[in-house]
Structure 1
C-alpha cells in the first residue's frame, strides 16, 4: 500500500475578494492574490491600478472594507497587533525606511535594544547585529550610520531587519529604481539565494524585463481590479503590457532615427565646456535648437551630477555652462532659470514637488515672478494655469486645487514636467523623467518631450532607461566621470549597454 500523498502547503499569503474605498474613490474592487512559498511573485499595473492599496492591506497598514487576508491559511492578525504582522510580512520601499543618524545595528533592533530591561547592552547589540547580517550574507559594518549606506546596502539591511522578526514574506516596492545594472544583478542573485532558504517575495516594478528575469509568477491589476495571474513563462511581454493597459500595442516611443535629421544651421543653445565637478571631469557637449542629447551610464558614472551642474544645483570645480553663448554663474539655480533652463530633477518627491500643495501651486512655482507684482499671483490666475496644465499634460485629477500628494506617480511626474515647461525655457534638462511611472504615463511624458523638441527647444535627457534615450539624436556615454563614447540615433541596445558597462570594448 502506497503512502498517502503529502498535503499541499498553504500559500504564504492569500487575499480573497479584497475591496477598499476612500470616499467615492474605489481603490480596490474584489481583488484576490495568492503567493506560494519560495517564489518571487510580481505585482504589476499602471500607477493608480491599486498596487499600493493592496500592499498596505497585505502589510497591516490598512483594513479592507471587504474580503480577507490569510497567512499560511490562518487569518491575518488585527491591525492593533503590529508585532504579529511583522512576524509574517515586511515591505522594503524605494525610499529609505531607516533612521539615517543611527547605526546599522541600532536600526536593525530599533525599539528592541533593551529586550525587556532599561539598559542597552551595546556590545551584545552589535554582536547580534553582526550575526544577523552574517546569516544572510550582508557585508555591512554594523557601526556605520545608516544614512551613509548605499541604496543597495540599505535595502539588504531592511530585508535583514524584516527577517529578524521571523517574517519570510518580503514585499519589494520598486527596489531597482535607484540601482545601477550591476547592483540590480546583485539584488536578484541575493533574492534567488534567499528563495532557496525559504524566503518569498512580492516584487513590484515598472520594469517588465525584470519580471521575466527574477519572478516565477505575475499578477496584473488594472483600474483597481484583478486582471491576470499566471506563470511568468506563460505570458509574453506584449500580453503583459496589454493586460496592464487594456490596449494592444504596448509602449510606443518615437525613435530619433525615424525623424528628419537636425538642420545643419540649427543654433547652438546649450554649451558645456571642460566641465568638472563631484564625480565627473572634463565633460564637454553641445545641444542645438530642436536637438535631443542623451547622457547614459551607470549610477556611478557621473551623468546625474553633470546634469545637476548644468541647471545650477551643483557648483563645478572647473569649466563653464553657457546658454545662447552667455556663461552662467556656477551653482545658481535662479540664474539658470532666468537664462532659460527648465529642469525635471531626478527625485520628484524631494526636489520636484511640494507634496502638500496643490497642482496649481506646483505648476506655477517657476513663474510666480511673472504672474503679479512682487511674486504675488492671484488665486484665479494660478487656477487658470493649473487647469491649463491638466489639459496640456493629461493629468488625471479632480481639479487644479487637488494636492499633488494625492496623485499617482505618473501624474505627479506630469506636474513636475508642467512646472519645468511653464516658463517656456530654451533648454530642458530631464533627469530620469519616467522613473517609477507606468507604461502609458511613460508614453505620455516622452510624447511631451518630443513635442517640445519639435518646437525648437534644446533637450538634455539623462536616464537609466533605454526607451527614454531613443528620443535622442545623440547619446553620450559616461563612465568613471568621463565621456567614453557617442552613439548616433539608431544605436543598438547591445552596443550602448556594452559601452555603459565597459565590456566588449577594444583598447
Structure 2
C-alpha cells in the first residue's frame, strides 16, 4: 500500500559546486543530496574536497559556481548567522563548546538576551530560568547531562551530545558530523550511534564524515565518494562493498591498495632489547608494566580509552612521572618525567593530538619539522635558514609530504600531510625508539598507509617503534601486539592475530591467562 505521508524533497542539495583557492582547485563540479532522516556518509582521502564542501554547506565560504538549497529554498546570504544555524550545524572533530562555561551557558551562548522591565530598564539574566530551559532542552533530545556541569568536566561523548542538542535547538534538521568517533571508545561509539538512530526517526538527517569505513556500513544507508576535488559516486551502502569503496576513494584497483609495508619481523630475537620497561606504574592509569622491544621490531600497545595504553606511551616520552618502575633505552637508564631527558635518551614521540601537542600552525613546514633538532642547524646555537630548508626538503621527500614547499605554513596542509610533518619531526633526531600514539587518527587510507610505512621503516633500519592505538589498521604493521585492559597487559599476540581475538582482549573479554598466539615468549 502506498505511504500516505507527503514525499519531502532533500534537506540539502548542492549541485555544480566549484571552489578555487588561488591555483588550487578545492572542488570541481561537486554535488551531494541528503534526504530527511537519512544518515549519508561522505568519504574520500585527505585533500579530496570534503572540508571545503563542509565550509560551503555551513555558510563559511561561498562557492565560485553552483547552487545550494535547503528544503528546496536557496541558501541564506553569507553572514546571516541565525538563518544558517536554523538550517545546518556541524559537530567538528575538535569540540566547539567552551570548557570554562557550564552546559547551560554553552547551550544558550549569545542567546540569553536580558529582558526589559516595564520601566524600560534591562532585567538581569535569570540564571535559574536559563538552567531550567537548558534542562528541558537536554531532556527533549534525551541527553543525560547536568546543565550546571562545567563543560571541561564532560566526557568527549557528552560534549558531542551537548553540541548536537544545541544545533537542534536552533531548528536545524541537518547535522554534519566530522570524524565524530575519532576520540571515542567502542562503548561511546555505540551510544552515539543509538542517539543518532533515535534522531533519524524524528526526521533529522546526518552527513557523516569518517575515515572508519566499518562505521559507514554500521550507521549509513547512502555513501558519496569524493576524489581529487570531484564527485565520484553516490550509492546505497549495501551496493558497495569495502573493496569497491576503497577503489572509488583511491582510483586504483585492489592490487594497487596493498600496503607497501609488510610485517616481515626483522626483529633480532637474540641480543639486548633497545627498550626495556620494568615494573612501571602510574596511579589511576596503569600498574606494574613490563615491556621490551628489540632492534628491528615494531611492538603494538593495544587498548581502549580507559586501558592506560596512551598514558604509558606518554610516560615513555617524558610527559608523566611514574610512581614506580624503570625505563632504559639501549641499556642506559632514562630519567622519567622529563621530555628533554627522553629526547636525549633517544626516544622520538608522535603525540595523539597533532592540533594541541603536535604542531605550531602559524609556522612553516620546515620550522615544524626541525623543532627537535635546532642544535644541528648551525654553529653555536644559531639556526641557519638554508640548513633548515635543506633538512626539511629531505623530510618532505622521504615522507612524501604534499606541500608547495618547506616555507608553506603547516596549517595549510591536509590532515594526513600535517601528521607526516609530526612524524618527520619525531624522526629528525634519528631516535632509537619511536613512540607513536594513534599515528593515523583522522587521516585517510592512503595517508594511513604511508604513515605506517614510515613507522615500519624505523624498525627496518634496525631501530624500534612502539605503536599505541585502538585502531586495528595501525596494529597490523606490528611484529607483536600487547593488549591492555584497565591498566594491565592481559594478552600478547604475534603478527597474524585475528581481529576478534584482539578486540576481545581490548574489551576485557579475556583473562591474563589468554594464550599468546603462536608465540614462544621472549617478552
TM-score normalised according to structure 1 size = 0.97
Corresponding position: 1:362 with 2:368: yes
Whole-angstrom distance in 1 between the partners of 2:464 and 2:367? 26
Q: CA deviation at 1:325?
A: 2.1
Q: How many residues align?
A: 505
Partner of 1:142: 147
Could you tell me whether the CA contact under 8 Å between 1:255 and 1:489 is conserved in 2?
Answer: no
- Out of 269, 277, 301, the position equivalent to 1:272 is 277
Paired residues of 1:180 and 1:298 also in contact (CA < 8 A)? yes
Q: Secondary structure at the match of 1:38?
A: coil
Show structure 2 runs of 5+ residues with no match.
117-121, 514-523
Matched, 1:26 2:32: no
Per the alignment, residue 103 of structure 1 pairs with 102
Secondary structure, aligned partner of 1:157: helix
Displacement after TM superposition at 1:41 (Å): 0.3
**Equivalent-residue separation in structure 2 for 1:4 and 1:329 (angstroms):** 70
Query: How far apart, in 2, do the equivalents of 1:252 and 1:277 lie?
Result: 39
Residues 98-497 of structure 1: matches in 2 within 5 Å? 98-114=97-113, 117=116, 118=122, 119-249=124-254, 251-253=257-259, 259-260=264-265, 262-278=267-283, 279-497=285-503
What per-residue deviation string (whole Å, max 9, x for no partner) do you get for residues 150-203 of structure 1? 100000000000011011111000000001111111111111111011111000
1:210-266 Cα offsets, whole Å, 9 max, x none, are 00000010111111111011111111111111111111127434786x525633224
Tell which deviates more after alignment, 245-254 or 180-189.
245-254
| Runs of at least 5 residues in structure 1 that lack an aligned partner in the other structure | none
Instruction: Give the whole-Å Cα distance in 2 for the aligned partners of 1:185 and 1:263.
Output: 41
Counterparts in 2 of 1:81 and 1:283: CA distance versus 1, 3 Å: same
Cα pair 1:253 1:446 within 8 Å, conserved: no
User: CA contact under 8 A between 2:265 and 2:296: conserved in structure 1?
Assistant: no
User: What's the CA shift for 1:505?
Assistant: 5.5
Considering only aligned residues, what root-mean-square deviation do their CA atoms show, in Å?
Answer: 1.8
Going from structure 1 to structure 2, the CA distance change for 1:116 and 1:246 (only over 3 Å counts) comes to farther
Q: Secondary structure at the match of 2:274?
A: strand
Are the aligned partners of 1:253 and 1:467 in contact in 2 as well (CA < 8 Å)?
A: no
* Cα separation, 1, equivalents of 2:106 and 2:137: 12
Q: Is 2:61 the partner of 1:56?
A: no
370 and 206 in structure 1: CA distance in 2 versus 1, 3 angstrom threshold: same
- CA distance in 1 between counterparts of 2:510 and 2:488 reads 18
Residues 342-386 of structure 1 show CA distances to partners (whole Å, capped at 9, x for unaligned) of: 111111111111111011101111110122234321110001011
